[in-house]
Chains A and B, each alone.
Chain A
Amino acid sequence: MLIFEHSRKNRRNYSQAPATRPAKSNIPDNLKRKSAPLLPEVSEMDTVRHYTRLSQKNFSIDTEFYPLGSCTMKYNPRACNSLAMLPQFLAHHPLAPEDTGQGFLACMYELQEILKDVTGMSAVSLTSMAGAQGELIGITMIRAYHDARGDTERTEIIIPDAAHGTNPATATMCGYKVIEIPTNREGDVDMDALKAAVGPKTAGLMLTNPSTLGVFEKKVAEMSQIVHEAGGLLYYDGANLNAVLGKVKPGDMGFDVIHMNLHKTFSTPHGGGGPGAAPVGVADCLLPYLPIPIVAHEQGVYRWLTEKDRPQSIGRLSAHMGNAGVLLRAYIYVRLLGAEGMFRIAEYATLNANYLMAELRKLGFEIAYPTRRASHEFIVTMKEIKDRTGVTAMHLAKRLLDKGFHAPTVYLCLLIEPAETESKETLDRFVAAMKEILDEIETQPETVKTAPHAMPLKKIDDVKAARELDLVWNPAG
């Protein structure tokens, strides 16, 4: 039942809105609204019940294991939320003078310093509001770098075919042509293809390491050399930074610009699809182009750097300071962890992934890159099972929902990332569920193919959703 269907004409919440309906106005009649918008008229209790019930229809980290590959669904510590929501922080207007926000700015400055250290980059801007925006910033800076050198013939960005879809979409948004290069059987980028692809038109290479295939790109130093020798720059998509935190720094791998997803590695909430935050780090060559604002610390005072301080900056990407409240949560998280905690994250994320991979392999699941270590995630291929039984990765994913586990990331395969915050018992329960499903595939494949069964709804008809677009409720039906 929709909130609108709970609505009764003239039902109101008297305590939440102003008590009176002032008539004082200078708005001309022709600019006034003539009919009320379609908002529900419901009591506070009805509203609370409705949205509490809706929340209960969601899977979440707080309620289920969520092994979504490349999404790093780790526990979101409660302290990060409650301390970021202290009333003074919430009340602070973004355009209030800097001297009224020194406490907040101190947190932002320290976060910049910590992220520089962790990634091995020269400077960090916190403004980016999501991974895709971080990419946009990075590629825009690469363009600014080439343009500033008068090198305007570079029109191509090279991207491995296994990359996340945002990479090619970003390159196109930045006016570049995308050159996709293949991956070899070991899961590494095909070096010959890379060598053939680079040239005077190469503006840069976008790379995720460890890759979306769940393995560490061993020849990253050589790739860096090939691209740099051709005059291009290297972009690091930090989607999988959790796997190498404290082990390898993107700066040491030769990257010129990176974004890091705080909603993954630094445990800010996913919130049902945002807000994210994806600070961007740069090497010296891109320093002048970093987007503003950036926090500076001068003579004991924190202040925002603006266009005046950074005339070559690519500019601004948000009206104020990006997703400031998300950054505050990440700051609290990194202070809780400390340096010693950082090292352990990658270690235990990797331990969990390799353990899960080993256990699933013992059950008979086929691993995509069996000769490789898992990074913090790995791929189970479903080809043999599908060819033999017709059960697909998506069928298996839906059946996992019935067993109380969120599905892994599904392409034609399953990309599984357990994250460091899960205990061995949880992983063992997941393995047991996978075993049950494996048995079902042999004995009663239809049960798997028609899953889910234990959810409030059966499989959703997304073909109907696309063919008969119903995007807005209409009271007339």
Chain B
Amino acid sequence: MPFIPHTEDDVAEMLASIGAASIDELFDEIPAELKNGKLTRVPTGMSEMEIARLMYERAQQDGFYLNFIGAGAYEHHIPAAVWQITTRGEFYSSYTPYQAEASQGTLQLLYEYQTMMASLTGMDVSNASLYDGASALAEAALMAVRQHKSSRRILIPQTVHPVYRKVVRTIVKNQKIEVVEVPYDPATGQVAADKLEQFAREEFAALVIPQPNFFGVLEQVDMLTDWAHDKQSLAIAVVNPTALAMLKPPGEWGHQGADIAVGEGQPLGIPLSSGGPYFGFMACKQELVRQMPGRIIGRTTDLEGKEGFALTLQAREQHIRRSKATSNICTNQGLMVTAATIYMALLGPEGLYRVAAQSHANTLTLAERLENLSGVKRAFQGPFFHEVALQLSVPADKVLNKLKAQGVLGGVLLEQDYPELKNTLLICATETKTTADLDKYTEMLQQALTT
């Protein structure tokens, strides 16, 4: 039943004040031929107890698995305080902070978030988030085209997440922006430096540089960034925020640093939750700030000089600029950013480093053990962060099914998006995996390979 507090007396008094005989009369401006009160596929309402029972059953049906899948969404431990604070009604049920004086909590938190993300990426400024990593990359591509002015082409390596590439195409094609893909080196799993040469004489608004890339492999980011800048293109970094605790931040890549850094914020305290809600982050150099889409918070003062926070640079946005806005984006993923900010505050620099280092070490350990099995070899020789691609000598889909039957999700198949990579698994072992978990995976893979 709906959440409506009205008593019969209330309704009678309210109708009397309006001067209407019935609630129905309030809809008398809707032409009769349009009225349609039939709902055939909406079930009868449930009580809270009944819906709870149904959802418990459905949750139980889905169950728990020991998960070694990454590929863009990563299982990390989330401290209990993160979501207890995030779901406080004052964060959960507040609106976009347009009324600054009534939203200082959210605004200050977002300013702290911007500071953390700018530092993590090594960039000058950050916005208050976008929808997710894939759409953030699309927005970065649009931003690069606006800034570059002369070229409407974007170079994206095939080592960038395949779905990110699809999303970029969906979003930019309306604006007649061309996406050109760069192949990867089959030996290292990195952007093929020699293949870049073929693009040397062409003009591009930007080169996208993933770190780590979709295969988990680390790219030669300094070389790629300088290559882009040498030909007057922008360098767009797509990075994993956990990895940035260990890896050189985009702002320090090459001689000048990347121009824009984007990525998926999910690893920072957001549950896997079937794919969302997550959040996209975007940071950039100071000189690009007016091209950056999305909400941005500034620190200022009130009229008596006390420190306060407000949305700023709003004139770039759709509610003022309308058809000339930098983007149609109106929302950010405010609640997700609330969680991410609390997550980063709780972990601090050392905690986040340990999450990264443990995830890296676990994946390295697992890769070494699995490589020792007969019928398993590493697909690429490049160094990797917390994911590794392993090629099996037997049909990998059958192996995954055998693991699943024993409660283990053993990774994803790369063949779907890279037909040349037959029987190749992409495996991720974050800090959530114990030595026993790694042993279990090794044992079960061995069994699956031999039976």
Given contact pairs A37-B116, A100-B62, A354-B20, A85 touches B36 in the complex (Cβ within 8 A): no
CA distance A37 to B61 in the complex (A): 42
Closest B residue, CB atoms, query A244: B30
- Among all A-B residue pairs, the 8 with the closest Cβ atoms: A338-B45, A320-B275, A62-B89, A271-B335, A103-B58, A94-B275, A17-B351, A273-B334
Chain B interface residue bracket vs A: 35 or more
Given contact pairs A107-B58, A456-B104, A169 touches B30 in the complex (Cβ within 8 A): no
Contacts of B94 in A (CB 8 A): 58-61, 270-272
A selection of 6 A-B contacts at a CB cut-off of 8 Å is A27-B247, A55-B88, A104-B58, A247-B27, A319-B132, A472-B126
Judged by a CB distance under 8 angstroms, whether A275 is at the interface is yes
In the complex the two chains form, is B296's CB within 8 Å of A471's CB?
yes
Write the nearest CB–CB distance from A33 to chain B, whole angstroms. 5
Judged by a CB distance under 8 angstroms, whether B374 is at the interface is no
Judged by a CB distance under 8 angstroms, whether A298 is at the interface is no
In the complex the two chains form, is A93's CB within 8 Å of B409's CB?
yes
Partner of A58 from the list B31, B102, B170, B344 (CB cut-off 8 Å) is: B102
In the complex the two chains form, is A462's CB within 8 Å of B100's CB?
yes
Contacts of B167 in A (CB 8 A): 315-319
Interface centre among B2, B46, B62, B338 (most CB of A within 10 A): B2
Contacts of A4 in B (CB 8 A): 112, 115
In the complex the two chains form, is A422's CB within 8 Å of B276's CB?
no
In the complex the two chains form, is A140's CB within 8 Å of B174's CB?
yes
Q: Which of B193-201, B226-234, B354-362, B436-444 contacts A (4 or more CB under 8 A)?
A: B354-362
Write the nearest CB–CB distance from B139 to chain A, whole angstroms. 10
Judged by a CB distance under 8 angstroms, whether A40 is at the interface is yes
CA distance A171 to B323 in the complex (A): 7
Write the nearest CB–CB distance from B357 to chain A, whole angstroms. 5
Judged by a CB distance under 8 angstroms, whether A285 is at the interface is no
Closest A residue, CB atoms, query B246: A33
Contacts of B30 in A (CB 8 A): 216, 218, 244, 247-248
The dominant DSSP class at the A interface is: loop
A-facing residues in B339-362 (Cβ within 8 Å): 341-342, 344-355, 357-358, 360-361
In the complex the two chains form, is B271's CB within 8 Å of A249's CB?
no
Closest A residue, CB atoms, query B28: A373
A-facing residues in B1-60 (Cβ within 8 Å): 1-6, 10-11, 13-15, 17-20, 23, 26-31, 33-37, 39-48, 51-52, 54-60
Partner of B29 from the list A74, A116, A215 (CB cut-off 8 Å) is: A215
Given contact pairs A34-B248, A60-B93, A317-B135, A272 touches B103 in the complex (Cβ within 8 A): yes
CA distance A374 to B445 in the complex (A): 65
In the complex the two chains form, is A465's CB within 8 Å of B29's CB?
no
Contacts of B44 in A (CB 8 A): 338-340
A133-B135, A319-B264 given. 9 additional CB < 8 A pairs?
A21-B350, A22-B361, A32-B246, A173-B327, A271-B336, A291-B170, A319-B161, A348-B23, A470-B299
Judged by a CB distance under 8 angstroms, whether A297 is at the interface is no
Judged by a CB distance under 8 angstroms, whether B404 is at the interface is yes
Write the nearest CB–CB distance from B153 to chain A, whole angstroms. 16
Judged by a CB distance under 8 angstroms, whether B398 is at the interface is no
**Binary contact track B122-162/A, C-beta < 8 Å → 1, others 0:** 00111011011111000000000000000000000000010
Closest B residue, CB atoms, query A344: B2
Closest B residue, CB atoms, query A42: B345
In the complex the two chains form, is B297's CB within 8 Å of A471's CB?
yes
Judged by a CB distance under 8 angstroms, whether A279 is at the interface is no
CA distance A340 to B273 in the complex (A): 30
Given contact pairs A83-B52, A472-B124, A335 touches B96 in the complex (Cβ within 8 A): no
Partner of B336 from the list A275, A397, A456, A466 (CB cut-off 8 Å) is: A275
Write the nearest CB–CB distance from A233 to chain B, whole angstroms. 16
Given contact pairs A58-B103, A248-B35, A338-B46, A355 touches B323 in the complex (Cβ within 8 A): no
CA distance A345 to B27 in the complex (A): 13
Partner of B118 from the list A25, A316, A472 (CB cut-off 8 Å) is: A472
Write the nearest CB–CB distance from B341 to chain A, whole angstroms. 8
In the complex the two chains form, is A326's CB within 8 Å of B277's CB?
yes
Judged by a CB distance under 8 angstroms, whether A182 is at the interface is no
In the complex the two chains form, is A355's CB within 8 Å of B18's CB?
yes
Partner of A341 from the list B45, B89, B128, B328 (CB cut-off 8 Å) is: B45
**Binary contact track A161-195/B, C-beta < 8 Å → 1, others 0:** 00011101111111100100000000000000000
Partner of B310 from the list A106, A114, A136, A460 (CB cut-off 8 Å) is: A460
Write the nearest CB–CB distance from B174 to chain A, whole angstroms. 4
In the complex the two chains form, is B335's CB within 8 Å of A13's CB?
no
Closest A residue, CB atoms, query B104: A57
Partner of B300 from the list A320, A351, A462 (CB cut-off 8 Å) is: A462
Contacts of A32 in B (CB 8 A): 246-248
Judged by a CB distance under 8 angstroms, whether B419 is at the interface is no
Contacts of A155 in B (CB 8 A): none
Interface centre among B71, B120, B131, B222 (most CB of A within 10 A): B131
Judged by a CB distance under 8 angstroms, whether A301 is at the interface is no
Partner of A56 from the list B105, B297, B298 (CB cut-off 8 Å) is: B105
Closest A residue, CB atoms, query B271: A90
**Binary contact track A85-105/B, C-beta < 8 Å → 1, others 0:** 111111111111100111110
Closest A residue, CB atoms, query B119: A38
Contacts of A215 in B (CB 8 A): 29
Given contact pairs A93-B73, A372-B29, A455-B102, A33 touches B96 in the complex (Cβ within 8 A): no
Partner of A62 from the list B93, B277, B351 (CB cut-off 8 Å) is: B93
Judged by a CB distance under 8 angstroms, whether A148 is at the interface is no
Interface residue total, chain A, C-beta cutoff 8 A: 198
Write the nearest CB–CB distance from A176 to chain B, whole angstroms. 8
In the complex the two chains form, is B275's CB within 8 Å of A318's CB?
yes
Judged by a CB distance under 8 angstroms, whether A66 is at the interface is yes
In the complex the two chains form, is B347's CB within 8 Å of A13's CB?
yes
Contacts of B103 in A (CB 8 A): 57-59, 272
Partner of B87 from the list A81, A88, A340 (CB cut-off 8 Å) is: A81
Partner of A37 from the list B13, B120, B133, B385 (CB cut-off 8 Å) is: B120
Interface centre among A164, A272, A274, A321 (most CB of B within 10 A): A272
Given contact pairs A27-B360, A273-B106, A339-B44, A460 touches B89 in the complex (Cβ within 8 A): no
In the complex the two chains form, is B34's CB within 8 Å of A248's CB?
yes
CA distance A335 to B40 in the complex (A): 14
Contacts of B314 in A (CB 8 A): 466
Given contact pairs A129-B277, A458-B302, A38 touches B354 in the complex (Cβ within 8 A): no
In the complex the two chains form, is A104's CB within 8 Å of B93's CB?
no
B-facing residues in A118-170 (Cβ within 8 Å): 118, 120, 129-133, 135-136, 139-140, 143, 164-166, 168-170
CA distance A350 to B22 in the complex (A): 12
Contacts of B69 in A (CB 8 A): 93, 95-96
Given contact pairs A336-B45, A355-B14, A401-B102, A274 touches B318 in the complex (Cβ within 8 A): no
Partner of B48 from the list A79, A322, A344, A372 (CB cut-off 8 Å) is: A79
Partner of A103 from the list B27, B57, B364 (CB cut-off 8 Å) is: B57
CA distance A129 to B129 in the complex (A): 13
CA distance A48 to B300 in the complex (A): 25
In the complex the two chains form, is A55's CB within 8 Å of B90's CB?
yes
In the complex the two chains form, is B95's CB within 8 Å of A318's CB?
no
Given contact pairs A12-B350, A173-B175, A473-B299, A216 touches B102 in the complex (Cβ within 8 A): no
**Binary contact track B253-282/A, C-beta < 8 Å → 1, others 0:** 000000000001000000111111111000
Partner of A471 from the list B35, B41, B289 (CB cut-off 8 Å) is: B289
Closest A residue, CB atoms, query B326: A169
In the complex the two chains form, is B364's CB within 8 Å of A92's CB?
no
Write the nearest CB–CB distance from A415 to chain B, whole angstroms. 12
